[in-house]
Structure 1
């Protein structure tokens, strides 16, 4: 494999990263229409809307995204909560992702 092949391979997103983006985009959907990041989604809704279907998998991605301060549970700090929201940092990531893909 040449250096350019390995560079191209290094730039592609893993399935995990793609799924994290799908979850983040799902959480940002309501925010885009209202510019109010206090909109909460139930894990079941997130699973259905993101296309992932598996709530435990979605919860795992939410924990990863929370560690990066891109989402937060509601009420804040309650990691057993079924309700989650996107943070201002999460909105910034989605905005930047949209700019890159254009």
Structure 2
């Protein structure tokens, strides 16, 4: 449910393309970044069609990732139940009640 194997982004193939400016900005702020030519993308992110990437290239950020929320929610709900939690569905609106700084 959690993957941290990088993110790839590119810009349109027109005068508004700012991929090199974004890359330089990321470098300037110390962000982990690589500017890749379309032909170099397969070595970093297999399965991406290099023909879909504009000729200006793409940025690969190795430290980025994604969360599969349905899988994570299922895991958390299962753990909640295993620890004695009870899930009420279709119960209408609710509020959190605080007592002695505890919910």
Shared fold per TM-score greater than 0.5: no
**Structure with greater Cα Rg:** 2
TM-score w.r.t. structure 2 length?
0.27
**Structure with more strand by fraction:** 2
Q: Which has the higher contact order (CA 8 A, sep 6+)?
A: 2
**Structure with more helix by fraction:** 1
